[in-house]
Amino acid sequence: MSRPLDGIRVLEVGQYIAAPYCAMLLADQGAEVIKIERPGTGDPRRAYDPFYEKDGRKASGGFLGYNRNKKSVTIDLSQPEGAAAFRRLARAADVVIENLAPGTMDRLGLGYTSLAADNPRLIYCAISGFGRLPEFQGPYAGQRSFDATIQAMSGVMSMTGEPGGSPSLGLSGFADIYTGVFGALAVGSALYGRERTGKGTFIDQAMYDTMASLAERALLLHELTGWIPKPGQDLYSPLGPIRVKDGTITIVVPTDEMFVRFCKAIERPDLLDHPQLSTVLDRAKHFQDVLRPEAEKWTTRHSRSEVMDRFVAAGLPVGIVQTIDEVYACPQLEARKMMLTIDEPALGAFHVIRTPLLFSAYERADNRTPPQLGEDTQAVLSEVAGIGADELQALRAKGAV
């Protein structure tokens, strides 16, 4: 069996998470991803803990999660000879993905306009905090950004945290990863469009746009009602964690009909007449101060399994608040074959979560371990860029690769 992106060649000039994750999604679907890294140091995440080394081979926990199924080629793009080698690779590529500081690739003569002059079919995905295209630049254009700063500026952080508490950071890497997801979606769309037009395109993928789009419900409700949600408040339906005797579950009650079943399940039909719980929006606003405390009068007298059984039988959306070790051993993930085993000589076999894409007509991704820095330099420059042994030796002597 084949994979959807077999035959597609991607050059990734990525660092940290957003661009590497975007490229890894494409690699997991069959694309040949060539990761371009600085000689000697590579992607900064190669130095992140936890760090492993054995028999001269190095592995970083901060690097392993976003770089499987790739090749690593070292090129110093700041040197003219290195830039020329990259241009030769780009002539044979379908996609370039980069998240360097805005303007960096253009200053090196390796921006979209320059590369597309040699390869009009090239799709160039530029990931940044606030966007690149001149006609869409706002007051933050060019400002340096990381995941946490984008979560803060997008409004997502203002809604995250304990009720009554201060805003808090959500899942670390959340903005980076979702930007990578949207970037991969854009690349896939551009590849499909190229089949019709024969032309490539520039993709301007901004982290701020991504996270603002994920706050869509909050922005729409503010537009319609003026409400500004605080940490721990949902916007359209009562939902959130509820304590039980031996842990915590999460319940969602998005309709009037489900609320009737919920009240019956917790043996509290009187809540149907509560003046602060008469509509879905009322119940959303008063989940923390009214509905949750009233529900916990029943749930805290019962075990997690008892509450789950009762709510599942009532047809209510409910889930256990699982810890990471519980998720790691979850039989649902095992049934879905979501844990991928990769053999890394520096630390042995380890497991990573798969890309959550499962096609009936295509096989799943390979499990090639993330590459050592520059391990594919000679093969890729020879086979893809047509650089011979003597030329490669000269490039190495200059430190260009």
| pLDDT tens-digit map of 277-326 | 999 989 988 888 899 999 999 999 999 999 999 999 999 999 999 999 99
The CA distance from 329 to 332, in Å, is: 9
Note the pLDDT tens digit of each residue in 82-127. Answer: 999 999 999 999 999 999 999 999 999 999 999 999 999 999 999 9
Residues 123, 124, 130, 132, CA torsion sign: negative
Identify whether 286 is part of a domain.
yes
Regarding whether 383 and 309 lie in a shared domain, the answer is no
Whether residue 131 contacts residue 206, with contact meaning beta carbons closer than 8 Å, is answered with: yes
Mean of per-residue pLDDT scores for the chain: 94
Whether residue 219 contacts residue 156, with contact meaning beta carbons closer than 8 Å, is answered with: no
Identify whether 4 is part of a domain.
no
Return the H-helix or E-strand segment holding 394: helix 389-398
pLDDT reading at 234 higher than 80: no
Identify whether 230 is part of a domain.
no
List, as one string, the DSSP characters of 344-384: ETTTEEEEEEPPS---SSSPPPP-PPPPPTTTTHHHHHHHT
Domain that holds residue 167: 9-214+363-398
Longest Cα separation, the chain: 84
Mean pLDDT of the region 244-262 = 95
User: pTM of the entire structure?
Assistant: 0.94
Regarding whether 195 and 159 lie in a shared domain, the answer is yes
Query: Which CATH number belongs to the domain containing residue 126 in this structure?
Result: 3.40.50.10540
Return the H-helix or E-strand segment holding 283: helix 280-285
Regarding whether 29 and 114 lie in a shared domain, the answer is yes
Q: Say which of 28, 176, 209, 234 is annotated catalytic.
A: 176
**256 carries an active-site annotation:** no
In the chain, how many domains are there? 2
Using the structure block, give the residue that is written with the tokens 């905090």: 129
> 359 Cβ partners below 8 Å, 6+ apart?
4
Regarding whether 370 and 281 lie in a shared domain, the answer is no
pLDDT reading at 1 higher than 90: no
- Supply the pLDDT for residue 272: 97
The CA distance from 136 to 26, in Å, is: 27
CB-neighbour burial class of residue 394 (10 A; exposed 0-12, middle 13-18, buried 19+): middle
- Supply the pLDDT for residue 137: 93
Last residue of a domain, one of 295, 325, 355: 325
Residue 236 confidence class, pLDDT cut points 50, 70, 90: low
CB atoms within 10 A of CB 389: 9
Task: Give the side-chain half-sphere CA count within 13 A for 249.
Answer: 26
CB atoms within 10 A of CB 373: 19
Mean pLDDT of the region 373-377 = 97
Identify whether 174 is part of a domain.
yes
- Supply the pLDDT for residue 89: 99
Identify whether 352 is part of a domain.
no
The CA distance from 174 to 161, in Å, is: 15
Regarding whether 91 and 26 lie in a shared domain, the answer is yes
Last residue of a domain, one of 325, 345, 378: 325
Return the H-helix or E-strand segment holding 10: strand 9-13
Residues 303, 305, 310, 315, CA torsion sign: positive
> 206 Cβ partners below 8 Å, 6+ apart?
127, 128, 129, 130, 131, 132, 179
Mean pLDDT of the region 370-379 = 97
Q: Identify each DSSP E strand in 21-77 by its residue range.
A: 32-37, 51-54, 57-60, 70-74
Identify whether 182 is part of a domain.
yes
pLDDT reading at 194 higher than 70: yes
Regarding whether 313 and 210 lie in a shared domain, the answer is no
Regarding whether 173 and 83 lie in a shared domain, the answer is yes
